[in-house]
Amino acid sequence: MLGADLRHQLQLYRCALDEANHPQEVRDNCLRWCSYDWIGVTVAATDEKALEREQLARAEMLAIRTSYVQRHGPTDGPVLKPISAQSRADEYAKGGDMKATIAGTPDTIAAKVKQLADMGLNHLHLRFLGEWAGETQHICKDSAELFAKEVLPRFSDAQPLRQPALVAAV
C-alpha cells in the first residue's frame, strides 16, 4: 500500500532540503536520487493470477522464515516501525515487511510505478516475491521477466522531476 506515510516522508525530506539552504543544483541532485524499496512485487497475466501467486509466494516465504526463527532465534528484519506493541522481531516473523506488496498485470504495476514517479521517486529497488531456491521460484522469475519486458520499457524515457509533484492519494 503506497500512501500517506510515503508522501509524508517525501514532504519531510523536501522541507529539510529547503531549510538547509543548499544551492538549487544541490537540492536538484538530492531529489534526483529519491528511491523506494518495493518489497513484494508479483506480476502476472491477470490481476487474479498475480494475487494467487502472491499468496503462494508469501506463504512459502513465511514458512521459511518461521523455520529459521525456530532454529536460530528471532531476527529484526527490515521492519522499521511495528504496527502494534509487538517487537520488530515478532512483526518481521509475521510478515511485517510484506505490508506494501503489489500484485497485478503489467498495466496495474505500471500504474503504481507511475504514481511513485509522479511523487518524485526516481529509483525503485524491487524484490519480487518467491523463493529462488524454493517451490515459488517460478513466481519470482516470471514476475521479474514480465516487469522487464512489459513494465520497464514504459519508463525508458522518464527523466527525474525538477520539482516533484505531491499527489493526493496513491
Nearest to 2 by CA among 148, 159, 169: 169
Q: How far apart are CA 92 and CA 158, in angstroms?
A: 34
Nearest to 80 by CA among 97, 95, 98: 97
- What number is the average pLDDT over the span 58-86? 77
Rounded to 5, what percent of the chain is helix, strand, coil?
Answer: 55, 10, 35
- What number is the average pLDDT over the span 45-54? 97
Q: How far apart are CA 55 and CA 155, in angstroms?
A: 28
- What number is the average pLDDT over the span 67-76? 85
- Domain residue spans of the chain: 1-33, 37-155
> Is residue 167 scored above 70 in pLDDT?
no
Higher per-residue confidence, 91 vs 23: 23
Nearest to 117 by CA among 43, 153, 167: 167
Report the predicted TM-score, pTM, of the whole model to 2 decimal places.
0.74
Q: How confident is the model at residue 101 (pLDDT cuts 50, 70, 90)?
A: confident
| Each residue's pLDDT tens digit, 8-20 | 888 888 888 889 9
